[in-house]
Structure 1
Amino acid sequence: MARTSAGRSSLSRAVDLLDAFDSGSVYLTATELAARAGSPVSTTHRLLGELTALGLVERSPDRTYRIGARIWEWSARSPGAAGLRAAALPHLQKVHHAVRQHAQIGILVGQDVLFIERLTAPDAVVNYSVIGQRLPALASSSGLVQLAWLPEAEQEAAIAGGVRHYTPLTVTEPDRIRHRLAEIRRAGYVANDGFIHTAARGIAVPLRGHQDDVLGALSVIVPNDAAPVRPYVSLLQNAAAAIARDYAALTRGRLA
């Protein structure tokens, strides 16, 4: 693999350019991409030419760039996130129909949770999650319910990374986070009341694979009111069990 003058590979720098896009900035100029990626403008132009030729980015008439459709093609072939989404979607739709708020699927990526599917309603409570976007795992119900089943060393790495106060209700103190993760593991679910927005409550359960490993999280975002949590938890746990069954069949090639 060719190396740049700074000793980093061209592939590494190309990935930095792709990472520079986010849900709030889907169209970026070469100059903006260079600034976000910390890459020289000349190197950025060269890499963008190669990425465009490969279909990994697309150039618009106004000279801005966007993520290319070929990346979507690759992700659609993945047995991981794409397979989980395919198995989950019918059951996610039922959950969404029942709560008439937000229902979503998130997977853990490092110390963040990445949302791979989300269903919502026009008059639903505020929700900061967006498909293809990440939130800090320690602040998100979808993240916490997955962190709870990680080895202690990985939990400690996430805790050491810290999390900012989104609201006065966000739990940020290391000892309280540890206690909360242990509590989530015992209960089998999490309910975050006002962690990211005071008006919203996130409730999540783990999605499990063939060997009871945690593949992701199924969650709802509902109003942070006095409604009991247990009916939501039961709804999510029943859906999670059905998703696990269909995911197992899908990955074994037996889903009808």
Structure 2
Amino acid sequence: MAGNTSVPGATVVARTIALLAAFDEAHPRLTLTELSHRADLPLTTAHRLVNELTKAGALTRTSNGYVVGQRLWQLGTLAPVQTDLRRLASPFLHDLYAGTLATVHLGVRDKLKVLYLDRISGQRSVPVVSEIGSHLPLHATGVGKVLLAHAPEALRREALQKLDRVTAYTITQPAQLAKQLDRIIEDGYATTYEEMSLGACSVAVPIRHNESVVASLGVVVPSLKRDKVRLVSALRVAAHGIERSLSSGVTHP
């Protein structure tokens, strides 16, 4: 809950932001009453603001509540982290998909989650739960583990205390994951084995810019038993191409 928004003197902007912030991965659809409660706003105020946001396209009304509208997604795609990185990486993601026919992910860290900037998949790809613009746990995904391994030490310690189990194979022991994160830095890639979705394994590598890891590139496949070496090689080639484009600021020909 946002807090303080029901206090007299709270600005319209603060109340509007509180309403939008009421949505998260666990609450993608909310009724008016739920929005009022989570934003800490009187029902009448929430009703008025929600109507205005709906008219503007920031929210969309459905038969059982409100969801984030297309207008907000359009605005979100203008953020530099998405427009620059996603645009420059796009040709390499398509090349990687063409060479593997696997689901390809491009992600960045957003606090203790991985934010998926792009995803490419086809009919032969392994079904995944990720969507462009969605967030998933760092510790249970390939791209997320890469980002967590290279995160500041304080954030890594915080993440190790919040290891929720997603499947029976999700690593939830802090010491075990800590060793794996150290190995990821040493090896230069991360793997998962059905930790986010049953029947789906992943491998991912870092993308660097100005000597810092700014994103992660990964693929999801049914198994890594035979093709891990080939996939790591393909990922590294694509990652290096993205890094060169980031340095020069031009797209891949």
- Normalising by structure 1, we get a TM-score of 0.84
Tell me which moved more, 150-159 or 84-93.
Answer: 150-159
What is the aligned-residue identity percentage?
Answer: 30
Paired residue for 2:195? 195
Quote the Cα distance in structure 2 between the aligned partners of 1:121 and 1:98: 12
| Cα deviation, residue 158, structure 1 | 1.2
Three-state SS of the structure 1 residue aligned to 2:206 is: strand
| Cα deviation, residue 181, structure 1 | 0.8
Paired residue for 1:116? 117
Quote the Cα distance in structure 2 between the aligned partners of 1:131 and 1:42: 34
Tell me which moved more, 58-67 or 81-90.
Answer: 58-67
Tell me which moved more, 36-45 or 82-91.
Answer: 36-45
Quote the Cα distance in structure 2 between the aligned partners of 1:58 and 1:168: 36
For residues 12-51 of structure 1, the aligned pairs below 5 Å read 12-21=14-23, 29-35=31-37, 37=39, 39-51=41-53
Contact persistence 1:48–1:57 (CA under 8 A): no
For residues 22-101 of structure 1, the aligned pairs below 5 Å read 29-35=31-37, 37=39, 39-52=41-54, 55=56, 57-58=58-59, 65-101=66-102
Contact persistence 2:87–2:251 (CA under 8 A): no
Change in Cα spacing, 1:152 to 1:68, as seen in structure 2 (3 Å) is: same
Quote the Cα distance in structure 2 between the aligned partners of 1:255 and 1:191: 27
Summarize deviations over 1:5-26 as a string: whole Å, max 9, x none.
Answer: 2886654443343244468976
Paired residue for 1:217? 216
Paired residue for 2:232? 233
Quote the Cα distance in structure 2 between the aligned partners of 1:178 and 1:95: 29
Quote the Cα distance in structure 2 between the aligned partners of 1:167 and 1:26: 21
Contact persistence 1:3–1:10 (CA under 8 A): no
Paired residue for 1:125? 126
Quote the Cα distance in structure 1 between the aligned partners of 2:182 and 2:9: 43
| Cα deviation, residue 33, structure 1 | 3.1
Q: Where does structure 1 lack aligned partners over 5 or more consecutive residues?
A: none
Change in Cα spacing, 1:225 to 1:76, as seen in structure 2 (3 Å) is: closer
Contact persistence 1:96–1:102 (CA under 8 A): yes
Contact persistence 1:145–1:184 (CA under 8 A): yes
- Paired letter, 1:223: P
- Paired letter, 2:212: D
Change in Cα spacing, 1:176 to 1:26, as seen in structure 2 (3 Å) is: closer
State the number of aligned residues: 250
Q: In the alignment, is residue 183 of structure 1 matched against residue 183 of structure 2?
A: yes
Q: In the alignment, is residue 105 of structure 1 matched against residue 88 of structure 2?
A: no
- Paired letter, 2:236: Q
Summarize deviations over 1:186-230 as a string: whole Å, max 9, x none.
Answer: 111001111122311111111111x12111111101002522311
Contact persistence 2:163–2:174 (CA under 8 A): no
Contact persistence 1:206–1:218 (CA under 8 A): yes
- Paired letter, 2:49: L
Quote the Cα distance in structure 1 between the aligned partners of 2:170 and 2:7: 43
Q: Where does structure 2 lack aligned partners over 5 or more consecutive residues?
A: none
Contact persistence 2:6–2:40 (CA under 8 A): no
- Normalising by structure 2, we get a TM-score of 0.85
Contact persistence 1:104–1:119 (CA under 8 A): yes
Quote the Cα distance in structure 2 between the aligned partners of 1:241 and 1:23: 32
| Cα deviation, residue 63, structure 1 | 9.7
Change in Cα spacing, 1:12 to 1:201, as seen in structure 2 (3 Å) is: farther
Quote the Cα distance in structure 1 between the aligned partners of 2:185 and 2:228: 17
